[in-house]
Amino acid sequence: MTEPHDRPTAAELVEAVREFVERDVMAATEGRVQFHARVAVNVLNTVQRELELGPEQALAHRARLDALGFADEAELAAAIRAGDVDDRYDEIKAAITATVTDKLKVANPKYLS
């Protein structure tokens, strides 16, 4: 299958901007501007991870919800609150743990270690 967009990919563009901010902007600034540059680098890292991991994670998330028999997280949450899935604790816990792990892999993988 041919992708509709050529290189650089969105992830590669984000990486290039992140590297510029990290290497050039942060080194040439201080104080508030340097702090905001550091925040921008963290945001760009998150966006890059989501671009790279997101499609596969979305498929896995959908498969987990389908296996549990729920259309979305809101429906699952409502069933948990109502006590409708208390007898499926281990199965629900495993699915939620996998979802949270995927979210942390994007938001901040350092939290997983």
Say if CB 69 and CB 63 are below 8 A apart: no
Residue 98 predicted with pLDDT over 80: yes
CB-based contact 14:44 (threshold 8 Å): yes
Three-state DSSP at 70 gives coil
Calculate helix-pair angle for 10-20, 31-68, nearest 10 degrees: 150
pLDDT at 1 over 60: no
| pLDDT higher than threshold 80 for residue 3 | no
- The residue-averaged pLDDT of 98-102 equals 97
Please report the pLDDT score of residue 2 as a whole number: 57
Give pLDDT tens digits for 5-64: 788 989 999 999 999 999 999 999 999 999 999 999 999 999 999 999 999 999 999 999
Q: Are 10 and 51 in contact (CB under 8 A)?
A: yes
Q: Distance between CA 26 and CA 73 in Å, rounded?
A: 39
Query: In degrees to the nearest 10, what's the CA dihedral of 81, 82, 86, 89?
Result: -30
pLDDT for the residue 7: 86
- H helix or E strand, kind and range, residue 18: helix 10-20
| Predicted confidence (pLDDT) per residue in 71-95, tens digit | 999 999 999 999 999 999 999 999 9
Q: What is the pLDDT of residue 82?
A: 98
Enter the tokens of residue 82: 């109502």
What are the boundaries of each domain within the chain?
10-112
